Amino acid sequence: VLALNVVLLLIWWALTNWRDNAFDRALLHYNQAYAALQTSDVDLARKEFELAFRFNRSPFWGKEGILEQT
C-alpha cells in the first residue's frame, strides 16, 4: 500500500510539474513575441508566437489552452 501511494504521488507530481512548466514556457514565448514586435522584428515575433501556441495548445489541456484555463 505504501509503495502504491509513493508511485501515485510521483505520477501526480510529474503531471503537476509538467503543467506548470508548460504554462511558464507559453507565457515566456508570448512575452518574447510582444517584445520582438516592439522592436519590429516580425520574423522573431512569428517564431515566438508559434512556440507559445505549441506550448499553450498541448493535447493534455483539452480543447482550451493552458493560458485560457488559468
Instruction: Give the predicted TM-score (pTM) of the model.
Output: 0.60
Locus of grid cell 508566437? 49
pLDDT of residue 62: 54
Q: How far apart are CA 34 and CA 37, in angstroms?
A: 5
C-alpha span between 41 and 16 (Å, rounded): 34
Q: Where are the domains of the chain?
A: 21-69
* Beta carbons of 59 and 51 less than 8 angstroms apart: no
pLDDT digits (tens, 9 = 90+) for 35-52: 998 999 899 999 988 888
